[in-house]
Amino acid sequence: MVDFEPEVLRTDLTRIVQDIFQTMLGMEAQARDLRIEDLRPPIVSASMHLSGNWNGAVLLQCELPAAAEFTSAMLGMEKPATAGEDLKDVMGEVINMIAGNFKGLIGGAHLSMPIVVEGSDYRIRLLGGKPTARLGFLTPGGPLHLTLVELEVTAGP
């Protein structure tokens, strides 16, 4: 298993998110102390699971207008009014890039396919998982939250 220094982990994840948003979306993602509870529905959540040297998930959450802004920036189109296929594809690609860069930090991990969920009344819970890092960002589209959830894996009998 990989052990992380909490401050180093936060610094690396912040850099990853900021680099991806600048490079792929042409926008700033400013690190901010934001609470996920303050997001207003509908919420768009994108996640990817990792297994290997580190087991857990990377979860990205934002309000629908922020996801629409990201979609517009990445695809060069008008902001979508709903969480259609383009928006879900963009959120899946953004989490894929973040999780892929995180995988590069830890090495020896396998990535799942991206999962994207949108709605007003749902919770995402990785059973047996504990949040390792929670980061907030302010983007031109609105607030964005990144959560790293580590799974406790026990050896078999």
Identify the CATH number of the domain in which residue 129 sits.
3.40.1550.10
141, part of any domain: no
Mean per-residue pLDDT for 73-82?
91
Residue 49 has a pLDDT of 95
53, part of any domain: no
Q: What does the alpha-carbon distance between residue 4 and residue 24 come to, in Å, rounded to a whole number?
A: 27
146, part of any domain: no
pTM: 0.91
Question: What domain range is 30 assigned to?
Answer: 6-39+62-135
Q: Which amino acid, 118?
A: E
Residue 122 has a pLDDT of 82
116, part of any domain: yes
pLDDT at 18 over 60: yes
Q: What does the alpha-carbon distance between residue 147 and residue 61 come to, in Å, rounded to a whole number?
A: 8
pLDDT at 66 over 90: yes
99, part of any domain: yes
Residue 40 tokens, joined: 């207003």
19, part of any domain: yes
Percent of the chain surpassing pLDDT 90? 69
State whether residue 145 is helix, strand or coil. Answer: strand
**Is beta strand 129-139 parallel, antiparallel or unpaired with respect to 115-119?**
unpaired
Q: What does the alpha-carbon distance between residue 137 and residue 132 come to, in Å, rounded to a whole number?
A: 17
Residue 124 tokens, joined: 């995402």
Percent of the chain surpassing pLDDT 70? 94
Q: What does the alpha-carbon distance between residue 29 and residue 32 come to, in Å, rounded to a whole number?
A: 9
118, part of any domain: yes
Which of 134, 129, 61, 124 has its CA nearest to residue 91? 61
pLDDT at 112 over 90: yes
Residue 72 has a pLDDT of 96
CA distances, 121 to each of 45, 74, 114 (Å): 12, 27, 20
Q: What does the alpha-carbon distance between residue 14 and residue 31 come to, in Å, rounded to a whole number?
A: 7
Number of domains composing the chain: 1
Alpha helices, H only, 41-106: 64-75, 85-106
110, part of any domain: yes
Q: Which amino acid, 48?
A: M
Q: How many CB atoms lie within 10 A of CB 16?
A: 21
Residue 25 has a pLDDT of 96
